[in-house]
Amino acid sequence: MNVLSEVVDEELHIKGETNFPDETSLLVKLLNHENNETEITTTVSEGTFEVEPIPIQQLKSGEQTYHITLAEEQPDSVEKIIGEKGKQLEGELIDEDKNFFVAFTVDIPEQKAKLSEAEVQQKRTKPTHTSGTTDKIPVTLVQTIDGDTIKVIYDGQEHNVRYLLIDTPETNHPRFGKQPFGEEAKERNRQLVNGGDLYLEFDVGERFDKYGRLLAYVYAGDTLVQEQLLKEGLARVAYVYPPNTRHLDRFEKAQQSAKDKKIGIWSLENYVSDNGFNRTDHEGADTLTPDKKMNQSPKTNSSNGEVYYKNCTEARKAGAAPLYKGEPGYAKHLDRDGDGIACE
């Protein structure tokens, strides 16, 4: 078994390859921030498995050793191959008691002092001294993370800043990998934020997202960075959540200009959708457009005919992800953060 684990955008991603049969149920055992062991179940599909991303705020920080074992109960089709509780298994990953066991180490970054739920809510809803205004707060750049995220020193502390109202392709995502124009967007973002004094402008809504990132408009000198990325075809208008919509009209005009010119992300047919960026032939895979997604054959529960996905890996392989509440196949066990969007 090969296991890959890494922290991306303050989330722990775990995936791997195995020769266990499809539908094998695996348990990933880890320590939460209260030093209690937590178990997460994942299922093998076509020789791979993947755990839904885990916010590192929920985990104990520092170097941690996590374990993967077999779940107590397995489907009959799996037990026929590996035996009851895996007793027919052999190899270096099987201990003397005939139990399957894999250990791997992850370095979880140190977290700031944990806030109570009430404090988190207060922090998210507390207006800034610029809320409702167009005042700009000077900040110091620490790092360009990707095309739509930077790290700055704001109010004496380091914060990740997620750009309001735009989305750029991924550069190193465990699930999506490197998407077309992801590196170009990151590099152009780096050039822009290093091109003048850096400022943040907040809108009238919440200033922090659920991951603790600041939500802001970013200026380098007089240049509104989001608008420039949209003009150059390196971003799309996305994540429009009122009342944080101050510059929406301005951004949509910039996006339309890039679409008309067919530059950047708009130069690839069917690459941009309302839900993000589709896989393209440039990535060595068939383009998965919304129309193709609708034509995928969903997995159904033979007892009642309803669409059912055991996990997000299964939903993605069917071309159904992301799933929105009310759509066929949406289920609470696929929506870890309860925001109505499963398998994001």
Give the DSSP H/E element, type plus range, for residue 38: strand 37-43
Active-site residue (options: 162, 188, 236, 246): 162
Active-site residue (options: 50, 170, 184, 314): 170
Q: Which residue has the tokens 């380091």?
A: 158
Examine the residue annotation and report whether 175 is marked as an active-site residue of this protein: no
Examine the residue annotation and report whether 117 is marked as an active-site residue of this protein: no
Return the SS3 of 267: helix
Active-site residue (options: 188, 201, 206, 213): 213
137, with CB counted inside 10 A (0-12, 13-18, 19+), is middle
Buried b (16+ CB within 10 A) or exposed e, 79-118: beebeebbeebeeeeeeeeeebebebebebeeeeeeeeee
Q: Using CA of residue 132, residue 135, residue 141, residue 147, what is the dihedral sign? A: positive
Examine the residue annotation and report whether 92 is marked as an active-site residue of this protein: no
Per-position DSSP letters for 219-230, written without gaps between them: EETTEEHHHHHH
* Residues with catalytic roles: 162, 170, 213
